[in-house]
Amino acid sequence: MSYWIWYQGDFERWHAMKQNFSRVERGLAWPAFWKSEGIRNRIALSKEYVLEEETNFTVYAHGVGFVLVNEDKYPFESAITCGPGRVKVTVHLGRLDALPSALVSGDVITSGPGWISDDYAEKLPAGFSPLYTDEEQDPAEWNYSEKEYLPVKTESVCGGTLYEFGTELTARLEIRASMMRLRGMTVYCGESRAEALAGKECYLFWKPEITGFGESATGHCPRCALRYVFIEGEPVELTAVHQYVDFPVRTAFACDDAKLNRIWNVAEHTFRLCSGIFFLDGVKRDGWIWSGDAYQSLLISRYLLADPGVEQRTLVGLRGNDPMTGHINTIVDYSLIWVLGVKTHIETFHDGEFLRLIYPKVKSLIEFCKKRTDVHGFLIGVDRDWTFIDWAEIDKDGPVGAIEMLYYAALSAAADLASMADDQEFENLYRAEADRIRECIREHFWSQELGAFIDSFTSGRCHVSRQTNLLAIRCGIADEEQTRLVSANVLHSDKVPPISTPYFQFFALDVMGQLGEIETVLDVVRSYWGGMLDLGAVTFWEEFDPSVTGDAQYGMYGDPFGKSLCHAWAASPIYLISRYLIGLEICEDGDDRFVLTPHLELFGVLECTLPVGENGQIVLSWDGRTLRVKALSVSCKLRVWGQEISVNNAAAVEVQLP
């Protein structure tokens, strides 16, 4: 098998740039507002062989250059004979307009693992992907899977025709009509009926590009999010070609609660739509790669796609080049959360090769952060750094408690990653710094008087937010007593403003789960996500406020259709149900890497299959009396009814309700 190869990480950076430049809003392109992390235009790809006999190979390449075999130069796309003996093959490549790449095809000499990529500054293992093995491909282009959809409903309305597809799609449109008609046509796409009918108020509308002639021309609109399409005039023949990344199905969920089943299914559908080359925030908007959103996707995907490819592409694409010149997405917290994401990924897949590649980037990120600390060692925002945390009101004066808590968590995660990468020196260094910061946080941000962590110790306002206190627990800052106080004084207090964004609701419910308040988690999942279902949602929304009615639900950020109706973080029930209700925990290391602690008391019947790592699966079947658990290509520890049972790759384990 020959793989297309490229400079390590440039494939991800190239496609991340493309992705971040692809946003369009009401006819205006909106490339993401942070530093684009470019690629190397000149690379050398090489491998040394000791050949026992003569062999042949051919090099295919995107770019200009030549093949160097020891001292001899050869062109691309012609058979090269070499050996026996020691042979060094180097593909020299330059490409101005896109990612340079090469494919070396031969019996013995064949590109893929073991090749080195060099940009004349740093040599790294060449990048490759199982998705690119065909000589006709160009890794600068993503090959989406495609599926045609026809409208399931057509309606004459507002002097035109409204076409409805069965669900939300990420599709390019093909419109068969006369050249004449196509020339004057505007195609309005909507996630909602109201949006498609809103004319220039809707987010995505297009003047189709026309191919063909006369009466049998075709209009083409670019790939975009749509469920409804409105076109003025009589009906035309319309096909939506859905373009997607075809992640295999590895998960199933069914229980005796029909609403929960529906929530799971819509969440899965939502998440798959938002997962492509990268984990995206939403399908209509932004289509940018955000570190905060990606982190939640990493936790959700652990129980759904469990695909290392999309995770690694996302982590590499987010992080960019060294040295860092600014925070990821310009957001201080998002740099820190990226480190948590790396740890999450490594925990899920235990991929030592990827760890070796990404760990230096963790180090340089921490190094970058260290340069932005104050006298306490607290991380502070400088220049154009954006301290986000959440849209809610948080006191961001001076060092921000929530940031320091994430900084502690990132340092701890970096220490864990250093340990896995056998970098004892930096493990000690990060661990010591983390411990110091934690003490410093407890000293400055804990208010014994309020029994809570405050947002800022410099403003004098002693503002208490749910966000800061949730992070204090989730990041491991709060000790047992502080956790008890925070739970009482903040999490279960009506005086502290509630979480209003689903982004932070993820963390809130995660903490509820960690604190063992499983029924609260289930209740919120059923009411919040069930509430969207009750309003006819076919995908879950960026945000949901049950008190808002009618088309007003579609508004956000002061925009009547600003809300994304298919948003990755809204798929969090997958995570919450898997992690806290089914109780599958994926731990860092050791014998107890996979622990299953199902809350069977919540289910009358439960049939579910969850992925574990890249190849494993855990199959659980519960009929109210008997629990059957199978572990495929993996082993796990089952904890149920006071028992602890090892489930191995061999036979199923059966346990009766005591």
Provide the pairing of β-strand 85-94 with 28-29.
Answer: unpaired
Q: Which of 529, 526, 562 is nearest to 544 (CA)?
A: 529
CB-nearer residue toward a copy of itself: 384 or 625: 384
| CB neighbourhood size of 204 (10 A) | 24
38 vs 233, which CB is nearer to a copy of itself?
38
Name beta bridge partners: 241: 148, 172
Verify binding: residue 235, a copy of itself, rule CB under 8 A.
no
Answer yes or no: are the C-beta atoms of 60 and 77 closer than 8 Å: yes
Stretch that binds a copy of itself, among 67-75, 251-259, 441-449, 534-542 (CB under 8 A): 67-75
Query: Which residue bears the tokens 């890794």?
Result: 139
Q: Please give the torsion angle defined by the CA atoms of residues 436, 292, 305 and 595, in that order, rounded to the nearest 10 degrees.
A: 30
Q: Using the minimum distance from each CB to a copy of itself, give the nearer residue, 209 or 523.
A: 209
- Which residues neighbour 358 within 8 Å (Cβ) at sequence distance 6 or greater? 312, 315, 316, 319, 342
* Residues between 601 and 640 that touch a copy of itself (CB under 8 A): none
For residues 57 and 464, give the distance between their C-alpha atoms in angstroms, rounded to a whole number.
Answer: 67
Counting contacts by CB under 8 A, is residue 651 touching a copy of itself?
A: no
- Using alpha carbons, select from 559, 538, 405, 517 the residue that is nearest to residue 470: 405
Query: Which of 354, 343, 457 minimizes the C-alpha distance to 402?
Result: 457
8, 11, 40, 507: residue in contact with a copy of itself (rule CB under 8 A): 40
Binding of a copy of itself at residue 92 (CB under 8 A)? Answer: yes
Cα 447 to Cα 39, 451, 452, 456, distances in angstroms:
48, 6, 6, 11
Q: Find the binder of a copy of itself among 5, 17, 102, 490 (CB under 8 A).
A: 17
Instruction: Tell me how far, at minimum, the Cβ of 345 lies from a copy of itself, in Å.
Output: 26
32 touching a copy of itself, by CB under 8 A: yes
Q: Does 655 bind a copy of itself (CB under 8 A)?
A: no
Stretch that binds a copy of itself, among 117-125, 219-227, 274-282, 364-372 (CB under 8 A): 117-125
DSSP one-letter string for 380-415: ---TT-B--S-SS----SSS-HHHHHHHHHHHHHHH
In this structure, are strands 28-29 and 24-25 parallel, antiparallel, or unpaired? antiparallel
Among 83, 125, 326, 562, binds a copy of itself (CB under 8 A): 326
Among residues 46, 110, 119, 655, the one that binds a copy of itself under rule CB under 8 A: 119
Scanning 87-95, 194-202, 229-237, 627-635 for contacts with a copy of itself by CB under 8 A, the matching segment is: 87-95
- In the structure encoding, which two tokens stand for residue 559, read together? 């925009």
**Angstrom distance (rounded) from CA 454 to CA 448:** 10
For position 533 contacting a copy of itself by CB under 8 A, the verdict is: no
Stretch that binds a copy of itself, among 25-33, 143-151, 241-249, 374-382 (CB under 8 A): 25-33
Q: Which is nearer to a copy of itself, 31 or 604 (CB)?
A: 31
> Which residue, 325 or 626, has its beta carbon nearer to a copy of itself?
325
Helix/strand/coil for 465:
coil
Residue 199 in the binding site for a copy of itself (CB under 8 A): no
x/- mask, a copy of itself, residues 282-321, rule CB under 8 A, reads: ----------------------------------------
In the sheet with 80-82, reading across from the earlier edge strand, the strands are: 80-82, 55-62, 101-106, 4-6, 127-128
Based on the shown chain and the rule CB under 8 A, indicate whether residue 242 belongs to the binding site for a copy of itself.
no
Kindly write out the interface string for residues 486-525 of this chain, putting x where it contacts a copy of itself by CB under 8 A and - elsewhere: ----------------------------------------
Residues facing residue 65 across a β-bridge: 93
72 in contact with a copy of itself (CB under 8 A) = no
- Beta carbon of residue 25, minimum distance to a copy of itself (angstroms, whole number): 8
Cα separation, 456 vs 646, in Å, equals 47
Tokens 């990404």 — which residue? Answer: 358
**63 or 583: whose CB is closer to a copy of itself?**
63
**Binding residue for a copy of itself (CB under 8 A) from 55, 66, 551, 562?**
66
- Binding test (CB under 8 A) with a copy of itself, winner from 143, 325, 459, 646: 325
Compute the CA torsion angle 165, 166, 171, 172 (nearest 10 deg).
Answer: -30
In terms of DSSP bridges, do strands 145-149 and 55-62 run parallel, antiparallel, or are they unpaired? unpaired
Closer to a copy of itself by Cβ: residue 31 or 114: 31
Fill in the per-residue mask, 383 to 422: x = in contact with a copy of itself (CB under 8 A), - = not in contact.
Answer: -x--------------------------------------
Contact (CB, 8 A) for 640 and 629? no
| DSSP label of 363 | H
By the criterion CB under 8 A, which residues form the site for a copy of itself? Answer: 17-18, 20-21, 27-36, 38-42, 44, 63-66, 73-75, 92-94, 96-98, 119-122, 323, 325-326, 330, 384
